[in-house]
Structure 1
Amino acid sequence: MKGLKFLIVAVILAVIAFSYWVYSSLHTPNAHDKGNQYIQIQHGSSPGQILAKLAAEGIISSQTPLKIYMKVTGTGNEMQAGEYQFDSPITPLEVLEKLRKGKLRTVKLIVPEGFTRFDIAKRIVGEFPQNKPAGEDSVLDLMNDNSLIKDIAPEAKSLEGYMYPNTYDFPRAVNTEAILKKMVEEFRKVWKPEYASRAAKLKLTSHQVITIASLIETESRLDEERPVVASVIYNRLKKGMPLGIDQTAVYIAKMEHRWDGVINRSDLESASPYNTRKVVGLPPGPISSVSKSSIKAALYPASTNYIYYVLNVEKNDKSHNFYSSAADFERGKAAYQAWLAKERK
């Protein structure tokens, strides 16, 4: 009997000791050297595989305490796949809580207003170098599929103008098709159904409105000024005057893979239908991404008789001076060129 009592007491003490060890282990921070690294937990990993991975990386010192805890609490299947950063030191329970909440590592894709599809393709490749198929040309090929916008602009040859400028958060493993789809979805949030009706009242297609919006986008950085810039475009179209927007020359150079950061005389002499110095009317399509402000300006231009504008060098706030006569425009242009010459010295 004494031996049995001793055995019982020994077992009880052992259970208490073991329970204390488990409790203590779960609450004791473990130091490791992976605090600045991401630990990837693959989809489909079992709880045992996840714990083995964490132990191998040194995030936890022992698998046993967490195995027991998850068995008792039934939380083993709550751990999620993802890419995690674990502070050092960190307790096993804190590790488990992170895994239960889930953490998907994301990459920011910043698409500024006025970016062309060529700029966007370059940025996608830069931010997501692991995407397949690789390379800017492959991304541009995907942009040439207009199925995402066919209901809005059946005549569009690419997604140019329909990839909304914004800051996006994408999973690191996202594919390019999903990126383009998301940007077009953002455009659709801005393009209201009544805008198509407004375009029809202007005797324009939706695609032509977006084309005008892209011209406005590249010409003016000020929201309040854009309806006035729009009025110049419409006035020139009515008069049969070339629009003379130099950013179309930049677009041509980018299309032909020869843009070097400077508008050359050869760019302005190009026979491309996008050359608004030579060709009367609108270019075949948009030349950049467009903001809500530029779309509204294209749909609701100001009522003016202006047909010229020049950067306002006196204010130096990116605004423009507007003119209705060639003589006034030439004086304004001369002042601008004189200022530009000083700036270049």
Structure 2
Amino acid sequence: MKKAALVLGAAVALLIAGAGIWFANGWYGTSTVSKNAGFVVPQGASVTAIARKLETEGLIPSADDFLLRARIFAGDGTIKAGEYSIPEMSTPSDIMDILQSGDVVLNFVTIPEGLPSILVHERLMAVEGLVGEIEVPEEGSILPDTYDFQKGEERSAVISRMQAAMDAYLAEAWEKRTDKAVVKTPEEALILASIVEKETAQADERPMVAGALSNRVRIGMMLGADATTIYPITKGKPLGRRIRVSELRSTNPYNTRAVAGLPPGPITNPGRESIAAVLDPAETKALYYVADGTGGHVFAETLEEHNRNAAKWRALRRERGEM
């Protein structure tokens, strides 16, 4: 009788041990991940919803088994929203470790210097992986840069980071302004910087353009920037034609060929260099500048000198067949 009880006990123990090994192997030793895969944890998803999604995408054999084993083996770690990379042959234990690590895959979107807000909006709406609707952000509120985002992230959250970056940089740059700066407020700095951004594509020329425009502001002279005249018509998009005489004569506050002073707001999202240029412009007496045919500009202190430079530019354009 004793011998039979011992045999039965040993058999039960073996069964329990075998069941334990089988149960643990289902967490630590098996995998249905046949190749490297991406997996997105939606914002606010429950562990049950995540397990169902893992099963649907073929990364685990059973959501119910995963949840049962997770309660025993995974502790109380938090699963964080975002996109994750799941390597080939990952076990359920490996997958849970990855999801609890917060080591998300980052994607990137670049906002170039001088991109107007209407095109920032179009760019973000076209980015795959971002979700949610957004309004066109306020002009000049976005700091051009490259920003990371997680798949499934709200577009509004990305916009908020871009605007916070502009606020932080503008505040820092404003504190470093010199006595040469003609702008009276950070808002005026943004407006003038947006014009500098549109007037020249050459980074090394921005302080000089800022200097000439600052001189005009200082003496109450009209800025004469075509980009400001175009802005109310296209909101920053290319005009696609020559400016009409009627548009140049319009007295709307953005037409700096008809109204002196700064326009009422920025005409694009200026980059760091343009903002820095208006806060520390080149020390110059120049009031005028015109394209020189190489991508840059030639500057002049007098209208007579400027007219000669402009005549050379028109002659060069005729020679190139552009007029």
* 2:25 pairs with 1:2: no
Change (3 A) 1:4 1:51: farther
TM-superposition CA deviations, 1:289-331 (whole Å, max 9, x none): 1223222221222221212222333xx3x33222223344334
Q: CA 1:189/1:15 → structure 2, altered by over 3 Å: closer, same or farther? A: same
The C-alpha deviation readout for 1:95-143, integer Å capped at 9, x for no partner, is: 11111113656653422211222222333333387424x6xxxx14xx4
Kindly indicate whether the alpha-carbon contact (under 8 Å) linking 1:162 and 1:290 is maintained by their aligned counterparts in 2: no
Unaligned stretches of 5+ residues in structure 2? none
Q: 1:254 Cα shift?
A: 1.5
More deviation, 236-245/281-290: 236-245
Question: 1:288 Cα deviation (Å)?
Answer: 1.5
**Distance change in 2, residues 1:29/1:312 (3 Å):** farther
Q: Find the aligned partners of 1:283 and 1:184 in 2 and give their Cα distance.
A: 21
Paired residues of 2:142 and 2:165 also in contact (CA < 8 A):
yes
Tell me the CA shift for residue 85 of structure 1: 4.5
Partner of 2:226: 246
Q: How does 1:57-76 map to 2 (within 5 A)?
A: 57-62=57-62, 66=66, 69-75=69-75
State the one-letter code of the partner of 1:183. M
Task: Say which SS state the counterpart of residue 169 (structure 1) adopts.
Answer: strand
1:214 Cα offset (Å): 1.4
Name the CA distance, whole Å, in 2 between partners of 1:259 and 1:223. 21
1:68 is displaced (CA, Å) by 6.1
Q: Which residue in 1 is equivalent to 2:143?
A: 164
Tell me the residue number matched to 2:31: 29
3-state SS of 2:86 partner: coil
Taking the TM superposition and a 5 Å limit, the aligned residue runs for 1:174-323 are 174=154, 176=156, 178-192=157-171, 195=174, 202=182, 204-255=184-235, 260-265=239-244, 267-313=247-293, 316=294, 318-323=295-300
TM-superposed CA distance for 1:336, in Å, is 3.2
Number of residue pairs aligned between Structure 1 and Structure 2? 316
Structure 1 gaps, min length 5? 144-158
- Listed one character per residue, the Cα deviations across residues 31-51 of structure 1 (whole Å, up to 9, x for unaligned) are 358x555444562514x5543
Q: Displacement, 1:229?
A: 0.8
Aligned amino acid, residue 31 of structure 2? P
8 Å Cα contact 2:182-2:217 kept in structure 1: no
Q: TM-score, normalised by structure 1?
A: 0.75
TM-score (ref. length: structure 2) = 0.79
Q: 1:279 to 1:196 in 2, by over 3 A?
A: farther
Deviation of 1:236 (Å): 2.5
Are 1:107 and 1:127, in contact at CA under 8 Å, matched by a contact in 2?
no
1:245 deviation in Å? 1.2
8 Å CA contact 1:249, 1:263 repeated in 2: no
Larger displacement relative to structure 2 (189-198 or 246-255): 189-198
| Residues 1:330 and 2:307 are matched in the alignment | yes
Q: What CA distance in whole angstroms lies between the structure 1 residues aligned with 2:59 and 2:100?
A: 16
Q: Distance in 2 between matches of 1:167 and 1:259?
A: 23
Alignment-mate amino acid for residue 303 of structure 1:
E
Question: After the TM superposition, which residues 141-152 of structure 1 pair with which residues of structure 2 at under 5 Å, given as runs?
Answer: 143=137
Identity of aligned residues (%): 28
CA contact (8 A) 1:196 1:205 kept: no
**SS of the residue 1:184 aligns to:** helix
What does the per-residue CA deviation read over 1:222-262, in whole Å, with 9 as the maximum and x for residues that have no partner? 3332221112112233454322212113312223x985434
Return the offset for 1:24: 4.2
Work out the CA distance in 1 between the residues paired with 2:232 and 2:80. Answer: 48
Three-state SS of the structure 2 residue aligned to 1:264 is coil
My pick for the range that moved more, 244-253 or 83-92, is 83-92
What SS does the aligned partner of 1:95 have? helix
Give the residue type in structure 1 aligned to 2:221.
M
Structure 1 segment 72-87 matched on structure 2, within 5 A: 72-75=72-75, 77-87=77-87
RMSD: 3.5
Q: Equivalences for 1:107-122 in 2 at 5 Å?
A: 108-122=108-122
| Kept after mapping to 1: 8 A contact 2:196/2:206 | yes
Paired residue type of 1:168: Y
Question: Quick one: structure 1 residues 219 and 2, their matched pair in 2 at CA, closer, same or farther if it must change by over 3 Å?
Answer: same
Q: Structure 1 pair 254/199, CA: closer, same or farther in 2 (3 Å)?
A: farther
> C-alpha deviations, 1:47-97, integer Å up to 9, x for none?
x55434323332112457755653444525433344444344432222111
